[in-house]
Structure 1
Amino acid sequence: MAAQRENRPGLGILFLCIGMVAISINDLLIKVLSDDYALHLIVFSRTSLAICISFVILRIEGGFSLLRTHQPVLHAVKGLMLVGANLTFFASLAVLPLGLTTALFYVGPLLLTLFSALFLGERVGPLRGGAIVAGFVGVAIMQDPSALDVELTSRWVLVLPVVAATLYAGMATMTRALGLTSKASAMAIYNQLAFIGVSALFFLSVGDGRFDPGPDSPSLHFLLRAWEWPARSDWATFAAMGVLNATMAYCLNAAYRIAPSATVAPFEYIGLPLAFFWGWLVFAEWPTPSVWAGCTLILSAGLFVFLRERQLKKRV
């Protein structure tokens, strides 16, 4: 008999909200550390602790046998897509305000709705299709560098969060499909192994800083700077990121595994006010009018998709 997808939207939404709080704090801590450490060092350090926690959760969910899979290639592709999403997002975070970077990234749930229709057969009608278009109009509004309060070395930095959102939406779509046969803890470990592998390759190839262009290119500087052992005063921050990484990895995989993508994805928008709050509190960043306008379009489109989904389910 064919496996059936789980459908527990309430629990899926709860997992997603917990994961988004963990992500918002994690993004804040990475931006704080971006002036002193290479991204591959941060990723390797936090993931090394996170994977230990994930193995404990795996043991609770059923043991190491859960790591067996008949789809290793798909899990590898999913993990690499998540790694790519993180690298492009954090590369832009080193340059752009936290709130703006997060706002541009939040076109992801709209893309996820589109991908769910294309690859999972979850129906998306013309109204929700129009909402997706409206979300991209919001992205275009925020892409105007003349309205930003930051000095850009390259306009391509503004594209990086959208690239991250596209990769993330693809990863979340694959999570929903792979959730038929894999537990959330196992999928979290597969993702974390991808992070450890890629960050180790970065260390071996660029860890001495030979390709570092210097502070004049902040994004590349963050990606390619030399590996430095963390100062003792930062150990607690690295440890906190490990716990946060384990939390968000499990919760997001669980959310998209047990509930329809179009139902839980709009709740990712709680990360947007959290990002604005952290940016204001820690970095004294405040969005410009164009950012507010673009955010309003993206948020409105995402909420419309959610409300439309609920209306259609009630009708059924």
Structure 2
Amino acid sequence: MTSLAPSVPLSKPAVGIAFILAGVTAISVNDMLIKELSGGYPLHQMVFVRSVIGLMFTLVFVQLEGGWAILKTNRPGLHVLRGLLIVIANMSFFTALAVVPLAEATALFFVAPLMITLLSIPILGEKVGPFRLGAVGIGFLGVLLMLKPWESDLGIEGGRVVLLLPVIGAAAYSLTQVLTRKLGSTSKASALATYLQTTFLVVSVGFFLVAGDGRYAENFDNPSMVFLLREWIWPVGSDLFLFLGLGLCAGVVGYAMSQAYRIADAATIAPFEYVGLPLAVFWGWLMFGELPGPVVWAGIGLIVGGGCVVFLREHQKQKKLALAAKIGRR
């Protein structure tokens, strides 16, 4: 006999946490590999390899979620904008990795959840109370602390401008996530991922056609700009396996993060993304001999603290809404 009971959303917090931890681990390995390869290969080449392999994974999920028909959309402009924003987010962050310590760049990028909270007010019309706004302020104080405005020499090639790149990337990522909320109601996760990977492919091929011979890199001494515009080079020796690792990480991230947010409540699992910070510290120490100083540790603490408070308040808000809905059905 066929059950006529209405379907309910999946709720597997433990499994969701496992998936998000896998995804965050893959992200940290991806960032470490990009920093490791940044001294000899161009960023657009790495993006191309990641996108090709990631797209192959994504298209498998497209077939599982409904086939080619789910790629049709009546809002192509928003999808293009979302794709360009995530490209800006990634390229800004990865460009900074050429000179900024891994843990420091990662911590600055983690200001994104705080920016999402602010952007949700004008764009999504969400109400954010003084408690969450105070937490956002604490997080931004951590960013200011890490930028060290009292020091004229930060010891980073490119100075404070390069240190701001992860923050710019976080801002673009925040806009991307806000647009995802708007588009997610009409588009499958695999379709959204396909649009993004395709955008990365188009942009990386465009970089190759315009600057793939490295002629523009010769005009710069800054390692970040050279990393962005360096000549395309075929991977040699063990570097080929590192490139394959980038593609594998892209596939794992795409699947694990989508699966995590599909089967568990976002407010429950999102704080576990902050596991990426100790992982960045670990990879920075193991691979590059980098350890954050006291000021950076203080900034990291403020950013993480502000973000966790925002997530906690969001979780409490959702519990109250769920309780009100349950009472209303009685």
Aligned partner (choices 187, 206, 210) of residue 192 of structure 2: 187
Instruction: Please name the residue that 2:78 is paired with.
Output: 74
**Does the 8 Å contact 1:112/1:261 carry over to 2?**
no
C-alpha separation between the residues in 1 aligned to 2:45 and 2:296?
A: 31
Instruction: Please name the residue that 2:317 is paired with.
Output: 312
- Note the C-alpha offset of 1:35: 0.6
Q: Where does 1:93-112 land on structure 2 (aligned, <5 Å)?
A: 93-112=97-116
Instruction: Please name the residue that 1:58 is paired with.
Output: 62
Q: Does 1:207 align with 2:212?
A: yes
**Does the 8 Å contact 1:12/1:258 carry over to 2?**
yes
User: CA 1:275 to 1:289, structure 2 compared with 1: closer, same or farther past 3 Å?
Assistant: same
SS at match of 2:145: helix
Q: Does 1:30 align with 2:38?
A: no
Q: Deviations over 1:165-211 (max 9, x none)?
A: 00011111111221111111111111000000001110111111111
Deviates more, 1:245-254 or 1:108-117: 245-254
**One-letter amino acid of the structure 1 residue matched with residue 171 of structure 2:** T
C-alpha separation between the residues in 1 aligned to 2:290 and 2:235?
A: 27
Instruction: Please name the residue that 2:4 is paired with.
Output: none
- Note the C-alpha offset of 1:9: 8.3
Q: Does 1:48 align with 2:47?
A: no
**One-letter amino acid of the structure 1 residue matched with residue 87 of structure 2:** V
SS at match of 2:238: helix
**Does the 8 Å contact 1:102/1:161 carry over to 2?**
yes
Instruction: Please name the residue that 2:165 is paired with.
Output: 160
**One-letter amino acid of the structure 2 residue matched with residue 62 of structure 1:** G
- Identity level (%): 49
C-alpha separation between the residues in 2 aligned to 1:172 and 1:116?
A: 10
SS at match of 1:182: coil
Q: Where does 1:243-254 land on structure 2 (aligned, <5 Å)?
A: 243-253=248-258
C-alpha separation between the residues in 1 aligned to 2:127 and 2:268?
A: 12
**Does the 8 Å contact 2:41/2:230 carry over to 1?**
yes
**Does the 8 Å contact 1:262/1:306 carry over to 2?**
yes
C-alpha separation between the residues in 2 aligned to 1:46 and 1:315?
A: 41
- Note the C-alpha offset of 1:218: 0.5
Q: Deviations over 1:259-316 (max 9, x none)?
A: 7766654332121111111111111110011100101111111111122222233334
User: CA 1:116 to 1:258, structure 2 compared with 1: closer, same or farther past 3 Å?
Assistant: farther
- Note the C-alpha offset of 1:240: 1.6
The root-mean-square deviation of aligned C-alpha atoms, in Å, is 2.3
Instruction: Please name the residue that 2:182 is paired with.
Output: 177
C-alpha separation between the residues in 2 aligned to 1:148 and 1:295?
A: 20
**TM-score, reference length from structure 2:** 0.87
Q: Does 1:136 align with 2:160?
A: no
C-alpha separation between the residues in 2 aligned to 1:115 and 1:144?
A: 26
C-alpha separation between the residues in 2 aligned to 1:12 and 1:286?
A: 31
Query: Unpaired runs of 5+ in structure 1?
Result: 1-5
How many residues get paired?
Answer: 311
Aligned partner (choices 216, 224, 229) of residue 224 of structure 1: 229
Q: Deviations over 1:130-170 (max 9, x none)?
A: 11111111000000174987433332001100000000111
Q: Structure 1 residue runs of 4+, over 4 Å off?
A: 6-9, 11-15, 253-265
**One-letter amino acid of the structure 1 residue matched with residue 58 of structure 2:** S
Deviates more, 1:305-314 or 1:198-207: 305-314
SS at match of 1:62: coil
C-alpha separation between the residues in 1 aligned to 2:124 and 2:251?
A: 27
User: CA 1:253 to 1:123, structure 2 compared with 1: closer, same or farther past 3 Å?
Assistant: farther
**TM-score, reference length from structure 1:** 0.90
Q: Deviations over 1:59-94 (max 9, x none)?
A: 122211111111111111111101000111011100
Query: Unpaired runs of 5+ in structure 2?
Result: 1-8, 322-330
**One-letter amino acid of the structure 2 residue matched with residue 219 of structure 1:** S
**One-letter amino acid of the structure 2 residue matched with residue 31 of structure 1:** K
**Does the 8 Å contact 1:112/1:173 carry over to 2?**
yes
C-alpha separation between the residues in 2 aligned to 1:291 and 1:105?
A: 13
